[in-house]
């Protein structure tokens, strides 16, 4: 009985996956837009019993796969944009865990004007500090 249920669940999963893949729109070679996905993860402490909110990665995992950008500013009214996408407010977050590579960090005031802009290289296990006046 248990084997039949496992087979049924596996087949159901394959059928659903087939429907999802066939429903995806097809694009011609001229319409393909290159998109770069950036994962921005706020820093949250790791809990050894397995639940951190919302990321429960142990420090060794984060240090071996990600780098950090730390903003050093006293201004609390700025919005942080990373690679053109909104990330957080400076009053809430000043430290960001990012995938390694080059990232555009931009700080904007409440009017949407750019106050600070810099391209930074994020390296695995390293913290890049940005001094913002």
Go through the chain and tell me how many residues it has.
133
- The string of pLDDT tens digits covering residues 85-126 is 888 888 888 888 888 899 999 999 989 899 999 999 998 888
pLDDT of residue 20: 67
Report whether pLDDT(26) > 80: no
Tokens of 42: 């706020």
List, in order, residues 6 or more apart from 121 with CB less than 8 Å away.
Answer: 101, 102, 128
Residue 78's domain comprises 40-131
Contact 72, 132 (CB under 8 A): yes
Give the Cα separation of 112 and 102 in Å (integer): 23
* pTM of structure: 0.56
Rounding to the nearest 10 degrees, give the CA dihedral for residues 113, 80, 116, 132.
Answer: 130
- The string of pLDDT tens digits covering residues 64-75 is 778 889 998 888
Beta bridge partners of 112: none
Residue 11 in domain: no
pLDDT of residue 98: 87
Residue 95 in domain: yes
Q: What's the domain count of the chain?
A: 1
Confidence of residue 53 (pLDDT cuts 50, 70, 90): very low
Residue 32 in domain: no
Residue 64 in domain: yes
- The string of pLDDT tens digits covering residues 56-65 is 556 666 667 7
Report whether pLDDT(40) > 70: no
Residue 20 in domain: no
Neighbours of 38 (CB within 10 A): 15
Instruction: Read off the pLDDT of each residue in 14-34 and give the average, rounded to a whole number.
Output: 60
Which CATH number covers residue 63? Answer: 2.60.40
pLDDT of residue 45: 53
- Whole-number Cα distances in Å, 11 to 4, 19, 24, 124: 11, 12, 20, 40
């Amino acid at each position: 009985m248990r084997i039949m249920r496992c087979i049924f669940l596996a087949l159901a999963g394959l059928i659903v996956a087939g429907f999802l893949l066939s429903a995806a729109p097809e694009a011609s070679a001229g319409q393909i837009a290159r998109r770069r996905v950036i994962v921005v993860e706020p820093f949250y402490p790791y809990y050894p019993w397995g639940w951190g909110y919302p990321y429960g990665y142990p420090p060794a995992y984060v240090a071996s796969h990600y780098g950090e950008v730390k903003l050093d500013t006293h201004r609390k009214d700025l919005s942080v944009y990373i690679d053109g996408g909104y990330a957080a407010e400076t009053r809430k977050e000043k430290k960001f865990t990012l995938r390694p590579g080059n990232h555009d960090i931009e700080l904007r005031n409440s009017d949407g004007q750019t106050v600070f802009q810099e391209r930074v290289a994020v390296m695995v296990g390293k913290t890049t500090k940005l001094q913002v006046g």
